[in-house]
Structure 1
Amino acid sequence: MTSADAPPRNLPSTSDNILLGDVADSTRVEFRSVTKNYGTTQVLHGVDLDVAPGEFVSLLGPSGCGKTTALRVLAGLESASGGTVLLGGVDVSGVPTNKRDIGMVFQAYSLFPHLTVAQNTAFGLRRRRVSRADANRRAHAALDLVGLDHLAERYPHQLSGGQQQRVALARALVTEPRVLLLDEPLSALDAKVRVQLRDEIRRIQLRLGITTVFVTHDQEEALAVSDRIAVMNAGRIEQVGTPEDLYLRPATASVASFVGVSSLAPGVVRGDSVTVWGSALPLQTPHADGPVEVFLRPEDLRLVDTEAAGTDAVVQESTFLGSFRRTLVRTADGTLVRVQHAATARVEYGDRVRIALSTHPVTVRPLSENNAN
């Protein structure tokens, strides 16, 4: 589904907060063939992306893939070397950051230590010459959104890291921006707080209906909160789709390897299928005939009875993950693969088991040189 085809979202009632009542018509964000060079080094290679009004889109990829550069170009903190950036259909490529009407939250909280939480939140409004009374009223409304209105008179050093990041989010929202930009805002937090805050960001975004672009290298974060995800690699967008699309139907080998957990097994392509350990699996995308490496998800492998069709393997390790286990096994050809199975099916190092493959479509890549020798 493209952004243009996305059905309208029914948002929760917003009449209980003054910041939410006026945010009705969200803004479309567009990248059109955007490039960015630093000297002779090209960082962005013709990036095209269309973010629908009110959509939450994540830029996902490893360090150095260009996702933060793309966000900075959108924010106006970097100028594009080529192409066009549009907000609401208007070319803003030459518009300075303070004229783009966007809110930004970064990994660093950047709160003023000498100002209270309420004063930090209202800072942008005071710079816009909003009256003190109105700025204070809107700051408290923003803090109420992020659940911190009761801490309005505290100072940053009296807050936890998660609370400081909530203040940074409130400060970005208080000006009622057309677009919200989030650059790795959760990476400095511990795991439990990170999950809580990512869910809170998504809840607030849905209530506001604000167009949001979120940069992260954490696939779990992107899968959990996004309407769609743009997976970037080496300055290019390799695939844009829903979390389900990217996980179940990766368009390229790099998307398959980056999104989710996969093991690689040797296979041979013939026509529209690939044979792995004697089992023919359908291909996700066409590939030339010949030896390949096949991406196998843990949930697409299962432990079976020794008499069932499959391949023999030896357990290398088994990890308990609450409702299920992931077990690493070595097959007769020396391949290491992870199998996801019921937590009650306990196995130990050295146990001989038999594994079988589900017949879901798989992604493949050319056999690596190391394995070809």
Structure 2
Amino acid sequence: MTLARSLPRTSDNLLLAAAGEGTRAQLRGVVKEYGAHRVLHGVDLDVAPGEFVCLLGPSGCGKTTALRVLAGLEHATEGAVYLGGQDVSRVPTNKRDIGMVFQSYSLFPHLRVLDNTAFGLRRRGVRPGEARRRAGDALDLVGLGHLADRYAHQLSGGQQQRVALARALVTEPRVLLLDEPLSALDAKVRVQLRDEIRRIQLRLGTTTVFVTHDQEEALAVSDRIAVMNAGRIAQVGTPEDLYLRPATAEVAAFIGLSSLVPGLLASGVATVWGQALPVPSPVGDGPVDVFLRPENLRFVAAADPGIGAVVHESTFLGSFRRTVVRTDDGHLVRLQHAASERLEYGDIVRIAVTPAPVVVRARIVEDDEDDLEPDGV
């Protein structure tokens, strides 16, 4: 689904005036092998026209390879790539009408910003005057029209990446592909530019596939997220679906913060510290590891149901605090709570679980110092 039609456009910017609905992009049963090593195992992905989809996963999971197959920079060993309903599996990259932005800016040092932006148009035979006008529109779109006459070395990293984005957009591609475009930037600039990319994508309605290993980044900008693990897509869904209703323990561990605690599963209900928790996708009955989100744990009075604990650390994070405690049964868990609740190392507390749905996995370890290992936002 695209929101492009509902957003205002300015008629004086040709790029915005030509904004369309985007093009459907699909991977169907894509397998990619390098010799005897299989990187992608039958990947299926359907990106709707105008949709912003993130490929999210740890390093080595195959997300960049999937993007490169979609771009035509790699050919699938098996399967097919479709753009706009047409099989483009054997169509070269320069004939697929896509725009690409990489982690490295790859700007030409001897060209000014305007000429860097217009380069793709000139290669397509667009007349110089028209190319410069369209390049100026693209630079205005990313907020850099006033820097058109500078060289790359005169720009900050964030500005250079904006130029790379303008260069990808100026040809009005059917699909925009971004491969870890923000990972080389500092935290503040990264947040600003990710929001800028999303704003521009919504205005243009361009179908966009964005590769990242940063969960917060994916949750912030995506219409949907495809979580990849070991060359397969583990789950595709909205950010809310993945966070609140992860389909597997692997997705629960990768999206957001979780603490692992032991529980007992019976008939689709896990019991943790005396609290019954619904399990939408139960495994077999018996001992399980239960994934608990920090916001689903709370401090309670000494006489209330729950479990005793000792505070290990408490971190102030502006509008809230995140506190780590060790429970009486020996497990480290995180809680997220009001910033006004100040706690110190060694404080004796009592905690309880909110009866929200949880994800579980068959218990594979006994009490372990690494209960906090599943990590994310």
State the partner residue of 2:283.
287
Q: Is the 8 A contact 2:2 2:202 kept in 1?
A: no
Look up the equivalent residue of 1:148 and give its one-letter code: L
SS of structure 2 residue aligned to 1:20: helix
Look up the equivalent residue of 1:68 and give its one-letter code: T
The root-mean-square deviation of aligned C-alpha atoms, in Å, is 1.1
State the partner residue of 2:162.
166
State the partner residue of 1:265.
261
Look up the equivalent residue of 1:77 and give its one-letter code: L
Q: Name the CA distance, whole Å, in 2 between partners of 1:159 and 1:261.
A: 36
1:16 Cα deviation after fit: 3.6
Q: Is the 8 A contact 1:11 1:206 kept in 2?
A: no
Q: Does 1:188 align with 2:184?
A: yes
Among candidates 333, 339, 354, match of residue 335 of structure 2 = 339
SS of structure 2 residue aligned to 1:10: helix
Q: Name the CA distance, whole Å, in 1 between partners of 2:189 and 2:366.
A: 41
Among candidates 17, 24, 31, match of residue 28 of structure 1 = 24
| TM-score of the two chains, using structure 2 as the length reference | 0.96
Q: Does 1:215 align with 2:207?
A: no
Q: Name the CA distance, whole Å, in 1 between partners of 2:247 and 2:189.
A: 33
State the partner residue of 2:55.
59
Deviation readout 1:67-119 (Å, 9 max, x if unpaired): 00000000000000001110000000000000000000000000000100001
1:284 Cα deviation after fit: 2.6
1:9 Cα deviation after fit: 5.5
1:247 Cα deviation after fit: 0.2
Q: Is the 8 A contact 1:223 1:243 kept in 2?
A: yes
1:370 Cα deviation after fit: 5.1
Q: Name the CA distance, whole Å, in 1 between partners of 2:236 and 2:343.
A: 39
1:25 Cα deviation after fit: 3.5
Q: Does 1:10 align with 2:12?
A: no
1:307 Cα deviation after fit: 1.6
Look up the equivalent residue of 1:247 and give its one-letter code: Y
State the partner residue of 2:222.
226
Look up the equivalent residue of 2:319 and give its one-letter code: S
State the partner residue of 2:373.
none
Q: Does 1:243 align with 2:239?
A: yes
Look up the equivalent residue of 1:350 and give its one-letter code: G
1:26 Cα deviation after fit: 1.4
Over 4 Å off, 4+ runs: 6-9
Q: Name the CA distance, whole Å, in 2 between partners of 1:340 and 1:370.
A: 25
Q: Name the CA distance, whole Å, in 1 between partners of 2:40 and 2:80.
A: 13
SS of structure 1 residue aligned to 2:16: coil
Q: Name the CA distance, whole Å, in 1 between partners of 2:338 and 2:265.
A: 31
Q: Name the CA distance, whole Å, in 1 between partners of 2:3 and 2:188.
A: 32
Ranges in structure 1 where 5+ consecutive residues have no aligned partner: 1-5
Q: Name the CA distance, whole Å, in 2 between partners of 1:267 and 1:99.
A: 55
State the percentage of identical aligned residues: 73
Among candidates 150, 155, 159, match of residue 151 of structure 2 = 155
1:22 Cα deviation after fit: 2.0
Q: Name the CA distance, whole Å, in 2 between partners of 1:313 and 1:369.
A: 21
1:334 Cα deviation after fit: 0.5
Look up the equivalent residue of 2:7 and give its one-letter code: P
SS of structure 2 residue aligned to 1:175: coil
SS of structure 2 residue aligned to 1:337: strand
Q: Is the 8 A contact 2:4 2:203 kept in 1?
A: no
Q: Is the 8 A contact 2:4 2:21 kept in 1?
A: no
Q: Name the CA distance, whole Å, in 1 between partners of 2:181 and 2:92.
A: 23
Look up the equivalent residue of 2:329 and give its one-letter code: D
Look up the equivalent residue of 1:332 and give its one-letter code: D
Q: Name the CA distance, whole Å, in 2 between partners of 1:68 and 1:295.
A: 29
Look up the equivalent residue of 1:11 and give its one-letter code: S
| TM-score of the two chains, using structure 1 as the length reference | 0.97
State the partner residue of 2:43.
47
Look up the equivalent residue of 1:325 and give its one-letter code: R
Q: Name the CA distance, whole Å, in 1 between partners of 2:322 and 2:337.
A: 7
Q: Is the 8 A contact 1:326 1:340 kept in 2?
A: yes
Q: Is the 8 A contact 1:111 1:168 kept in 2?
A: yes
1:24 Cα deviation after fit: 1.9
Look up the equivalent residue of 2:233 and give its one-letter code: I
> How many residues are matched?
367
Matches within 5 A, 1:343-362: 343-362=339-358
Q: Name the CA distance, whole Å, in 2 between partners of 1:90 and 1:370.
A: 52
SS of structure 1 residue aligned to 2:281: coil
Q: Name the CA distance, whole Å, in 2 between partners of 1:340 and 1:129.
A: 57
Q: Is the 8 A contact 1:292 1:364 kept in 2?
A: yes
Q: Does 1:83 align with 2:83?
A: no
Matches within 5 A, 1:62-211: 62-211=58-207
Deviation readout 1:22-53 (Å, 9 max, x if unpaired): 23241000111111001111110111111000
Q: Name the CA distance, whole Å, in 2 between partners of 1:195 and 1:41.
A: 36
1:10 Cα deviation after fit: 3.4
Deviation readout 1:108-166 (Å, 9 max, x if unpaired): 00000010000100011111111110000000000000000000000000000000000
